[in-house]
Amino acid sequence: MSEDRWNTVLVLGGIRSGKSAFAESLVADAPAVRYVATAVGGEDDPEWLARIEEHQRRRPQSWTTEETGADPARLTELLSSAKPDDTLLVDDLGGWVAAVLDPARQPNDDEADVAALAEAVRGCAGRVVLVSPEVGLSLVPVTPVGRAFADALGSTNQALAEAADGVVLVVAGQPTWLKNLSSRTAVAPAPEPVVSAAAAPRPAPSVTATPAPPPPPASSPTFVTPEADPAFVAAPVAATVVAPTPVADPVPPVADALGGMTMSLPLVASGLTKIQPGMDLPLPDSDAGPDARERLERIDLPGAGLGRVREAIEFAAGTQETITPQPWSSVRVLVISGRHGGGAAAGADPLDAERRVAETELGIGLLGRLAGQAGADIAVLRVRSSGAMEDGPVTEGHAVDAALRQGWQLADEAADAGRDALLLAGIGVGVEAVATAVLAATTGAEAAATLPRVLLPGGRFDDNAWMVRCAAVRDALHRIRQEPRGAHDILREIGGLDLAVATGVLLGAAARRLPVLVDGPLGIAAGLIARDLAGQTRHWCLLPEAGTLALVKQGADVLGLTPVLELGLDLGEGANALATLPLLRTVLGLAAALPVHPALLAEPGDDGLSDELAEETGGLDDSYDDGIDEEEPTTVLPRGFGNPAPDPEDGAAGRS
């Protein structure tokens, strides 16, 4: 088994080192986990029972528990009989070694038991995480029994470390990988993005039916700032056109990077960090979101509130770490264009896809118009074509690593350029079928129920092409049924390079605390894969519009993404989110500008609202005077949202 596949991981650590919690995080996103408990005895030890109960409370209700108890051969049987879609967590091997050394089993060939277990780990068809105490750093036990246990456990750890794909040592809750899961093949740094030298947007040329020129050989993103389209922008509002700022030196020297902040390390070129499972990325503020939702229930609105768009406000509050989040003012649209071969491309028109990519590079077309309306700039990245997933691996392992790193670099460059949000878009061939295969492989979803129909120009459906795509997904899943289901494995076997770049974007955005708006198959599939590398990534993703695809809805449900709107838009990946962006900005601005209702802030603290929240929301104190004569009703015209102040010399002042 190659080093970049993760089928089995051995987690080592001392007592109370956090090894069990880290091991649980590696399988937290699995649909189902079989927890194998090896503890023996302890029924009369309250402290030991309390430890077991603590572990039980951490396990999700969907997990099942199996106890090997005093029969160490039971663990070997479980591993040998595991199926490819099984996920097992063994905690821990100290209990298993204690059972092996039980005097009641002697005389016994203990070394044969260890060898059998190592062979079962090496040949296990499912995914296995084994937890084991690391006893080699402590004092040599003073009793013969203690020395026998330490020696046996040390030998067991060595045998399993050799058999496992990855080995990690957890000290004080911090994991250090001793045997990496990702490929160690040296990867050259991704090329620097080519930034358009023109600061002003180019005029929109006429689009004809002539096929677009072939893609450039280099996979460098093309940055364009679309022109504000008068047909989409109502006067007197004009879209702000800001050319992307080139990054003069995107990769600081390694010596400088060692003294920088953790999340600013130059991952792509320096190699200080590897993209591998178990990455510890930041999370949004867990308090700001709920506090912002609480504030929305108190702001000065005449109606019942903002409805479902509160989801976007709570998301923005968490990612901005404030209860009054501001609208995203500088958004970058990342358009990833890739092609997939084989049955995944059945019914697709590569020339039509290329035309749309070329239009986007010029700042025109659907994405260009919507981006111009929103004042967003666009980065278009063409990636190398991927093979047919039903025939074999669609790309190489080292190419997957390079694509992940380039995606991370794109997120880094957006953050360095001052962008406050990313919007992931895709224009390609065969992406829907590949995303369906990823959803089925990672969650067990029924491919035929989620594969989108093949839509042709004019609103017609090609059901024959759909059946070809469905067969390709079926054959690909059958081909990898015995293969590991790690992130690198899925990308290499069926995902391809466009999906790898998108996954890297989500990881890099989470590392830079940058929110990402997703709305289509590419973004959802990337989210499903990214969660295997770092579960925190999904908390930085927002689904603005549910769309019409069952693939997107089911994948979003697995990721825990609740759509903000359900308008039934089907404009293509990225366009749905861009179309709703102005509304989300308006709602964010409104929620931040409106104060809490005066009746709820007569005296901060008396109504259950904290002084800090009252101060931050612009609350009113006891001296507040609304200036309204209670004896006579007064009509007050709203200002600040399109209604100018009345001119005192205007005789019509005061009329609506």
The token pair at 575 is: 């366009």
Which residues, 6 or more positions from 458, have their beta carbon under 8 angstroms from its beta carbon? Answer: none
Residue 495: DSSP 8-state: I
488 catalytic? Reply is no
**Could you give the C-alpha distances from 627 to 60, 621, 624, 633, in angstroms and in order?**
56, 15, 9, 12
Q: Are 239 and 375 in contact (CB under 8 A)?
A: yes
Q: Are strands 166-171 and 174-179 parallel, antiparallel or unpaired?
A: antiparallel
Rounded to whole angstroms, the Cα distance separating 28 from 532 reads 9
The token pair at 470 is: 């469905």
List residues bridging with 17 in a β-sheet.
none
Residue length, the chain? Answer: 656
Three-state secondary structure call for residue 435? helix
Which residues, 6 or more positions from 3, have their beta carbon under 8 angstroms from its beta carbon? Answer: 165, 180, 181, 182, 183, 184
Catalytic residue of the set 55, 398, 478, 597:
55
In the chain, count of helices (H) and strands (E)?
Answer: 22, 15
Q: Are strands 455-456 and 421-426 parallel, antiparallel or unpaired?
A: unpaired
Tokens 């004809």 correspond to 208
| Long-range contacts, stretch 446-452, CB < 8 angstroms, 24+ apart | 447/473, 447/474, 447/477, 449/550, 450/550, 450/551, 450/554, 451/551, 452/521, 452/549, 452/550, 452/551
Angular region, 524: left φ>0, alpha ψ -120 to 50, beta rest: alpha
Catalytic residues: 55
